[in-house]
């Protein structure tokens, strides 16, 4: 399965312990993970400013993620309209990366539900998918 991780899940996966870290570890070992260039820019900003991580650690995290598939900033937007322009890049990147699922904690993205051609789930929903319990 091709799993696209939104920034908020990546931040939680690398900065805290818990479900996001667990979901990310399982995805690393069992699936193809990807994220977007626009997500990496946001990840760097959040880890540096909000979490006050040293640049060297942020560099290491970005370098680690770049060993996996990074979708360049798409030339076209998302097929659905969104309130937050940053979300448009996330959605367009997930499509361009041929993701099977987008894992996010963003309520606006989760609310798209059936209107989007890719499954959008929160980390708990993705965990359920991994364990064979269908949840959208």
In this predicted model, what pLDDT tens digit does every residue of 118-131 receive, in sequence order? 999 999 999 999 88
Quick one: pLDDT band at residue 133, thresholds 50, 70, 90? low
Mean pLDDT of all residues in 15-29? 95
Fold type of domain 2-130: Rossmann fold (3.40.50)
- Cα distances (angstroms) measured from residue 10 to each of 21, 90, 97, 132: 8, 13, 17, 23
Distance, CA of 117 to CA of 123 (rounded, Å): 19
- Supply the pTM of this predicted model: 0.91
Q: Is the pLDDT of residue 34 over 60?
A: yes
The distance from CA 21 to its chain's CA centroid, rounded to whole angstroms, is 12
Angle between helices 37-45 and 55-66 (to 10 degrees): 160
DSSP state of 113: G
Q: What percent of the chain has pLDDT over 70?
A: 93
The answer to whether 3 and 38 are in contact (CB under 8 A) is: no
Report CA dihedral (126, 2, 47, 76) to the nearest 10 degrees.
-120
Comparing C-alpha atoms, which of 18, 8, 43 is closest to residue 127? 18
Comparing C-alpha atoms, which of 7, 66, 80, 65 is closest to residue 39? 7
């Amino acid at each position: 399965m091709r799993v696209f991780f939104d920034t908020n899940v990546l931040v939680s996966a690398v900065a805290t312990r818990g479900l996001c870290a667990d979901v990310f570890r399982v995805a690393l070992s069992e699936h193809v993970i990807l994220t977007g260039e626009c997500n990496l820019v946001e990840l760097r900003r959040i880890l540096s400013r909000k979490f006050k991580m040293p640049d060297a650690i942020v560099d290491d995290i970005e370098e680690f993620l770049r060993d996996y598939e990074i979708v360049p900033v798409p030339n076209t937007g998302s097929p659905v309209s969104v309130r937050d322009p940053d979300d448009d890049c996330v959605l367009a990147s997930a499509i361009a990366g041929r993701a099977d699922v987008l894992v996010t904690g963003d309520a606006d993205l989760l609310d798209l539900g059936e209107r989007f051609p890719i499954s959008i789930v929160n980390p708990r929903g993705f965990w359920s998918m991994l364990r064979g319990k269908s949840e959208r």
